[in-house]
Structure 1
């Protein structure tokens, strides 16, 4: 559903161009049929080159063929629903995709031709994506929803995830003097495409890198993420420790990075909790235990308590404001779980309704994600410490579900299709 690429690396690869080797086999010979729609050898070679230009240097015939099969299935599903791409919609899609490489559709098409890819390959690729989005909107989106509970859970996860502050990485800088840009890019693609370990990356850096860090295997010390160039921050932030970036072009060189480790800091208030809980004083521990066994949720406790219900106290308080004995019992409870505190001559039933980071409790349902500078500049300044809005989280979760549903539906189409070889 999503096509990921690095705009910088893509633009550089396109502008350099390449020569496509000819094949001795009949280029228009069908290699596979998908519901009686042929995929030719030439289409496979064109799609392979297209995918390589988009930043997948290790793409082979098998991967290109599978991508074409999937596109045939996407178009087939759209045809069954009467979904087509209008010329205006197709042009908008072409322009949007080209913009990722800093070009318009015409420039992108010319650059692709220079790289050995015919214009119709680009158009067919975008067209398949457009009609597939139509299939998803019509068939899958009406079946999807995001609950408030899911939003709360995701907000907690995000708040409790450290914000990246420092990185430990290695660099490899390949010289790319005029006339040797393609050779440098090819070498960088081979290194990055091999998914090197830290030791393998270090070995490559010692052998090929022109940086002063080459003798140390390209290893750099801890760097504050804010000290990195703004264009590089999202590249590094998108890596997990042990991963290598795609090649990036800079004047006279091609650069790749390997992330070794990260450090982060929690948002202020992320470790402090606010608890929603209920207490009910009863005559004995036995009475409290019987009620605790019957109660299933905080909402049903009122009915389960019968005539004692008016004495129930429900409170939402920060941890440090809750009496120590009650707070200690709440610490071991899950949501809607109850326990009993026995005082000898009386007992308290204690039930946890929910717990959440204090920062979410303070934020409420309307959380700003930007802050206006004190000097009155009109443009809002992003705040890395800010909690995302509930609506932003809802959209993110919905998109995840839509992507998963689309993948599952494509797998279903694949299983039901008649896919045969000549």
Structure 2
């Protein structure tokens, strides 16, 4: 639940790290308390170290105000862990150090050596990891047992996935900053400033005109609509993780640093996404007055069956049909209804009351698994390899885990906010 950083970019940054000497004010009184959190002090030196660490990682929260807030939160995490008798073991911390350093494809010693060259002590890295280790255990004990995911939430998430177009084209703006040998850090610093200050497309365009070394600079860095498949495979996950209006973190490429702004996306629904299964009830009655009374007393299909109790079986029918199999006259009426809404159709000799029980995407219906595409090399079936269907929906268990993790994260954030509100936080 902590920050996720791009390993390749982080490795490139660390390889050329160099942030200069500590500020003069930090050198004057390194351990001056800046803020007390439940009587535990955050010192000026800790803040300088955290700012330097975050700047080195090109994290968005590298300014002093945000870094101080992060240190306060870490104090709250550690304080809560102590109250729950949670103490991180050396093995847990070492595993956390190794996992984090591994994101940069480095070992712990290589990573800490790179930090040291930039003036960041190993202890600052260790403190950062320790707070995360104990907080995961706090969340596991205090938050996770309270989180439940219902079948309805899973279905709602599945419907959202079905209704969300798969991105096929993107509208990007670019800034490419030259980074000749010996000037890599200066280019990264400039890119970091752009990321921190480009809040809108107009901001990004102004930076592009000033700093970008490509022909698109004159047009504010704007690139034409581009098929996602045309982008380098390594870049696609980054673009897909962004929302329109967002700026990417700086990316290092040979001789340059690149920053993107995502203006917009286009996409298509997966096959079958617009098809529906309609579950509805049709009741045949003698008059519109009878139909109106029955509708007024029925808030759901279950209520309608109770209200129609005593009618001959032929006069009340419940159907569950693909949209294409619903009779056209009924399909037109049902198209105007939400779940548990009714409409009355007068055919002259008889009156029909229609109630829509549920409208479900056909892709969620219980159907046999789609066949898996295969390919064979040299025409030999023995060499055939199963290929995943790119249009297949994720398994319900996967979606349930996704919803569960999101709810845990939200609950953990709410718990931390509660701890912050109840803490004694004061300045000297």
Question: What TM-score comes out, normalization by structure 2 length?
Answer: 0.91
Q: CA deviation at 1:39?
A: 0.9
Aligned to 1:384: 390
Aligned to 2:323: 319
Aligned to 2:416: 410
1:172 and 2:175 are equivalent in the alignment: yes
Secondary structure of the structure 2 residue equivalent to 1:291 = helix
Aligned to 1:419: 425
Aligned to 1:236: 239
Aligned to 2:265: 262
Aligned counterparts of 1:306 and 1:129: Cα–Cα separation in 2: 60
Aligned to 1:122: 125
Quickly say closer, same or farther: Cα 1:374–1:208, change in 2 above 3 A.
same
Are 2:178 and 2:255, in contact at CA under 8 Å, matched by a contact in 1? Answer: yes
Q: How many residues align?
A: 419
Q: CA deviation at 1:211?
A: 2.5
Aligned to 1:5: 5
Q: CA deviation at 1:28?
A: 0.5
- Among candidates 34, 38, 43, match of residue 40 of structure 1: 43
Q: What is the CA deviation profile of residues 352-404 of structure 1, one whole-angstrom value per residue up to 9, with x for unaligned ones?
A: 1111222222657xx67x94532266875444322122111111111111111
1:339 and 2:340 are equivalent in the alignment: no
- Among candidates 47, 54, 57, match of residue 54 of structure 1: 57
Are 1:277 and 1:350, in contact at CA under 8 Å, matched by a contact in 2? Answer: yes
Secondary structure of the structure 2 residue equivalent to 1:226 = helix
Aligned counterparts of 2:179 and 2:43: Cα–Cα separation in 1: 36
Deviates more, 1:20-29 or 1:149-158: 20-29
Aligned to 1:373: 374
Question: What TM-score comes out, normalization by structure 1 length?
Answer: 0.93
Are 1:278 and 1:298, in contact at CA under 8 Å, matched by a contact in 2? Answer: yes
Aligned to 1:23: 24
Q: What is the CA deviation profile of residues 264-286 of structure 1, one whole-angstrom value per residue up to 9, with x for unaligned ones?
A: 11111112222111212223322
Q: What is the CA deviation profile of residues 302-349 of structure 1, one whole-angstrom value per residue up to 9, with x for unaligned ones?
A: 333222384432222122211122112211222122232223332222
- Among candidates 296, 300, 307, match of residue 297 of structure 1: 300
1:286 and 2:277 are equivalent in the alignment: no
Are 1:303 and 1:309, in contact at CA under 8 Å, matched by a contact in 2? Answer: no
Quickly say closer, same or farther: Cα 1:266–1:305, change in 2 above 3 A.
same
Aligned counterparts of 1:394 and 1:164: Cα–Cα separation in 2: 23
Aligned counterparts of 1:379 and 1:129: Cα–Cα separation in 2: 41
Q: What is the CA deviation profile of residues 41-68 of structure 1, one whole-angstrom value per residue up to 9, with x for unaligned ones?
A: 1111111111122223662222111101
Aligned counterparts of 2:79 and 2:165: Cα–Cα separation in 1: 44
Are 1:166 and 1:262, in contact at CA under 8 Å, matched by a contact in 2? Answer: yes
Quickly say closer, same or farther: Cα 1:177–1:159, change in 2 above 3 A.
same
Quickly say closer, same or farther: Cα 1:342–1:107, change in 2 above 3 A.
same
Quickly say closer, same or farther: Cα 1:410–1:212, change in 2 above 3 A.
same
Q: CA deviation at 1:209?
A: 2.2
Secondary structure of the structure 2 residue equivalent to 1:306 = coil
Quickly say closer, same or farther: Cα 1:58–1:410, change in 2 above 3 A.
closer
1:141 and 2:144 are equivalent in the alignment: yes
Are 1:146 and 1:397, in contact at CA under 8 Å, matched by a contact in 2? Answer: yes
Are 2:375 and 2:385, in contact at CA under 8 Å, matched by a contact in 1? Answer: no
Q: What is the CA deviation profile of residues 150-190 of structure 1, one whole-angstrom value per residue up to 9, with x for unaligned ones?
A: 11111111111111101121222111111111011111111
Q: What is the CA deviation profile of residues 81-103 of structure 1, one whole-angstrom value per residue up to 9, with x for unaligned ones?
A: 22222222222222222222222
Are 1:289 and 1:339, in contact at CA under 8 Å, matched by a contact in 2? Answer: no
